[in-house]
Amino acid sequence: VELVAKVDSLTDEINFLRAVYEEELAQMQIQISNTSVVLSMDNNRDLDLDGIIAEVKAQYEEIANRSRAEAESWYQTKYEELQVTAGRHGDDLRNTKHEISELNRIVQRLRNEIDNVKRQCANLQAAIARLR
């Protein structure tokens, strides 16, 4: 029962982490799309604003992509760890259920043996009573 609760708890935690991951990913995408760049203007005619804007935009996109990749990697690692833990707990649960079944069979066998011994004892007591 305790292992079932642990498995349920781990499953809930996996689902929670997935929801958090999806929410953070959505927030990062919104933040990236809302990012604006403020540049100071120089009246110099040789200034290549399009090049500067493209370079800054490329830098921000690279930072955003790196952050997204790091977050995805971290969540994937966490997810895999939880999967392994859940699998291990599932195996433990199956083993425990098997042990319980085996112990129940042993208890039933011992109860049958006790009943047989009680019958033998009653038969012997009846035989002794007849002999008196």
- Per-residue pLDDT tens digits of the chain, which is 132 residues long: 788 888 888 899 999 999 999 999 998 888 887 766 565 665 555 677 888 899 999 999 999 999 999 999 999 999 999 999 999 999 999 999 999 999 999 999 999 999 999 999 999 999 999 998
CA distance 85 to 7: 9
CA distances from 99 to 5, 105, 112, 121 (A): 18, 10, 20, 33
